[in-house]
Amino acid sequence: MAVSRHGAMILIGRKLFPNQELRVRCVPTNRECEARVVGAIRKEQQKSCYGIELLDHTVDLWGIEFLPSEKSADTVGRILLQCGARKAQEVAYLNDFELEVLEANESLLRRCKRCSETTTWRKLAAAPAAEEAAPAAPRKEMRREPRREIRVAVCVRCHQFGSDDMVDTRNVSRGGLCFASTRVYAPGWEVDVAVPYSAGGGNIFLSGKIARVQHLATEKLKLYGVAYTRKKA
């Protein structure tokens, strides 16, 4: 259903288990690679959706050229995670299906450099929020960025309101997100958003502006599009 440099989101009619090893063959390239199951995401009719990670990162399984940086165009979520074995902490740059696995299971299987093996990483129980400069994205190109319809918890902070707005996303991309809220935001308002958001801490807030407002006739909500921006030094 979706692929990244080192993994994929697959839809399959059989039950898989976290850390289960698979052998995946890409039909168009006729290449194969060992993979492991990161976790379950959701069910669709009679099948289940899983996130998988390729075990050999040198194999070009998909025949697709991806950006070399970890903070590449497939990054849609940022959060501080902790290794369950060594308690190491690391800012995780999540693609869309990794974000869905984390939201569905409150944990994620990923490689730990200290442990030299795959371990379970979880959201921090308590930690201060962190802040990171948003990725640069020219305004004209932002609409061309792929958006995925993902419902995850997000925290929106705006100085016009005296409290955080705990809402859900409707879709996410590298350049921004769309969320639904009962509050009234105006185009151009500056906001800070954390996606995904964890009540315990470890959240990465990015700066942005309200770029679009859409009224929903059937719901008592409004949809707001947020475009990430860079904070001035």
Q: What confidence tens digit (pLDDT) does each residue in 22-41 have?
A: 999 999 889 999 999 999 88
Please name every residue paired with 108 in a beta bridge, in sequence order, or none if there are none: 121
**Model confidence pLDDT, tens digit, residues 113-130:** 888 888 999 887 654 455
138-150 burial, b for 16+ CB within 10 Å, e for fewer? eeeebeeeebbeb
105 by DSSP, 3-state: which?
Answer: helix
**Gap between the Cα atoms of 161 and 65, Å rounded:** 43
Domains, in order of start, for the chain: 2-54 (no CATH), 77-123 (no CATH), 130-228 (2.40.10.220)
Instruction: Count other C-beta atoms under 10 Å from residue 130's C-beta.
Output: 15
Angle at 125 between CA 84 and CA 18, to 5 degrees: 40
pLDDT digits (tens, 9 = 90+) for 117-171: 889 998 876 544 555 655 554 444 444 566 788 889 999 999 899 889 999 999 9
Q: Which of 134, 224, 219, 157 is nearest to 187 (CA)?
A: 224
8 A C-beta contact, residue 205 and residue 192: yes
What is the C-alpha separation between 138 and 116, in angstroms, rounded? Answer: 38
- pTM check: above 0.85: no
